[in-house]
């Protein structure tokens, strides 16, 4: 029996690799001759660097870069052994967890540090960079990231703008003459798990600004500033991101990358599946086990379980999801190819108890699943 285990992490509880280890333990306890291939997954946000390193090898690079407010912070990214590809998580340098709640400054926070990580990777030879969005403290349209790669944003007098999304209200021109040829030759793939446009009622500022500390007045200010930025980007590059689905990811960083550097947005879990070569792992499988901390109707919207289910369905493989909690209806997931879903809860438990026992519970449940398959 050949089993592929391809879960997301159980956030706040187990990493994707730890989930794989628990499931593998349970499988072997139930079916001694089973072959288990572990393929830890992520949805293109936190954990993608670890997935890349485990699946493809390479090196973890740690650099001191700017945090969302320009202070020094150590951040990491991954680069392949041949130096040609790299994975950068925006949250590592520009994430909301880097700021205390009282430090959140929605109009000033920017993505310059993420750009420094990308510049470092390109300087080491990377020409295919996966930029993982999510968890940002910023609403700057990716302008900070682009500044770190050699771009300048100018006001009507030709003066360079200060950092932050609020300053984009004065943007009048773009000077990209300082972008190195190496950056221009780099392919940028953008992992995002939202479909919000750049601006408007469903845009970056309106939907995500409040959680980054923006007051109602600042939300309106930032939305107007991003609209101005989108207009200038369109004038300079001929690319409109105003209403582009997903352009609002990470405070508009996706839109900035698409317009200025030809960024290619896609569902994060799809990109990660390609990155870790999940389709190849499924080629000889008999059963696929996936999972995440909470499985519900929203899991069908591009999360790991939905992507794994789709890939398994194309090969006619049964796929079972194990989760901390399973909240129906799951009809959309079943339509995508999911065969069944089970919660690891074995009876009434507090959340703390469930978290503390997640590994053994996963192992036990995985054993039951494969016993059913071999009966």
Give the whole-angstrom CA distance, residue 127 versus residue 123. 9
Start and end residues for every CATH 3.40.50.10350 domain found in the chain: 2-41+277-374
Give the whole-angstrom CA distance, residue 115 versus residue 94. 10
Q: How far is CA 184 from the centre of its chain?
A: 23
Give the whole-angstrom CA distance, residue 76 versus residue 62. 4
> What local confidence, expressed as pLDDT, does residue 374 receive?
66
Start and end residues for every CATH 3.90.1510.10 domain found in the chain: 48-269
> What local confidence, expressed as pLDDT, does residue 55 receive?
85
Architecture of domain 48-269: Alpha-Beta Complex (3.90)
> What local confidence, expressed as pLDDT, does residue 316 receive?
96
Q: How far is CA 159 from the centre of its chain?
A: 34
Give the whole-angstrom CA distance, residue 304 versus residue 354. 22
Q: Which residues pair with 290 in a beta bridge?
A: 321
Give the whole-angstrom CA distance, residue 137 versus residue 222. 13
Give the whole-angstrom CA distance, residue 337 versus residue 79. 33
> What local confidence, expressed as pLDDT, does residue 348 receive?
85
> What local confidence, expressed as pLDDT, does residue 116 receive?
98
C-alpha torsion sign, points 162, 164, 168, 174: positive
The CATH fold assigned to 2-41+277-374 is Rossmann fold (3.40.50)
**Close Cβ partners of 261 (under 8 Å, ≥ 6 residues apart):** 146, 149, 183, 184, 186, 188
How many CA atoms, within 13 angstroms, populate the side-chain half-sphere of residue 244? 25
Q: How many Cβ atoms from other residues are within 10 Å of residue 206's Cβ?
A: 20
* Residues in the chain with pLDDT values less than 50: none
Closest CA to 48 of 20, 23, 21, 78: 78
> What local confidence, expressed as pLDDT, does residue 265 receive?
95
Give the whole-angstrom CA distance, residue 353 versus residue 355. 5
How many CA atoms, within 13 angstroms, populate the side-chain half-sphere of residue 374? 16
> What local confidence, expressed as pLDDT, does residue 209 receive?
97
Q: What is the pTM of this model?
A: 0.87
| Residue 255 contacts residue 264 (beta carbons within 8 Å) | no
| Residue 219 contacts residue 204 (beta carbons within 8 Å) | no
């Amino acid at each position: 029996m050949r089993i592929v285990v391809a879960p997301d992490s159980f956030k706040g509880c187990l990493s994707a690799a730890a989930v794989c280890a628990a499931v593998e333990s349970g499988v072997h306890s139930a079916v001694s001759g089973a072959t288990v291939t572990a393929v830890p997954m992520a949805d293109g946000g936190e954990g993608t660097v670890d997935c890349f390193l485990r699946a493809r090898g390479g090196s973890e690079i740690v650099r001191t870069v700017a945090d969302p407010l320009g202070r020094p912070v150590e951040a990491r990214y991954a680069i392949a052994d041949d130096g040609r590809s790299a994975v950068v998580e925006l949250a590592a340098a520009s994430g909301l967890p880097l700021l205390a709640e009282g430090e959140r400054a929605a109009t000033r926070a920017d993505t310059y540090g993420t750009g420094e990580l990308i510049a470092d990777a390109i300087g080491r030879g990377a020409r295919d960079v996966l930029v993982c969005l999510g968890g940002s403290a910023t609403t700057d349209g990716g302008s900070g990231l682009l500044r770190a790669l050699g771009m300048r944003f100018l006001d009507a007098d030709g003066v360079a703008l200060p950092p932050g999304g609020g300053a984009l209200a004065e943007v009048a021109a773009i000077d990209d003459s300082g972008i190195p040829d190496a950056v221009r030759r780099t392919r940028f793939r953008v992992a995002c798990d939202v479909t919000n446009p750049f601006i408007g009622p469903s845009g970056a500022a309106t939907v995500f600004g409040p959680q980054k500390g923006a007051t109602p007045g600042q939300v309106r200010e930032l939305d107007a500033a991003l609209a101005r930025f989108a207009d200038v980007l369109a004038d300079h590059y001929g690319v409109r991101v105003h209403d582009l689905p997903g352009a609002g990811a990470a405070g508009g960083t996706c839109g900035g990358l698409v317009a200025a550097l030809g960024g290619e947005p896609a569902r994060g879990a799809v990109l990660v599946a390609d990155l870790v070569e999940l389709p190849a792992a499924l080629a000889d499988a008999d059963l696929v086990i996936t999972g995440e901390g909470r499985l519900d109707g929203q899991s069908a919207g591009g999360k790991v379980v939905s992507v794994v289910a789709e890939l398994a369905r194309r090969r006619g493989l049964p796929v079972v999801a194990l989760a901390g909690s399973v909240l129906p209806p799951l009809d959309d997931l079943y339509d995508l190819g999911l065969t069944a879903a089970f919660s690891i809860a074995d009876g009434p438990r507090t959340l703390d108890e469930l978290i503390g026992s997640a590994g053994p519970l996963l192992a036990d449940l995985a054993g039951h699943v494969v016993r059913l398959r071999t009966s």
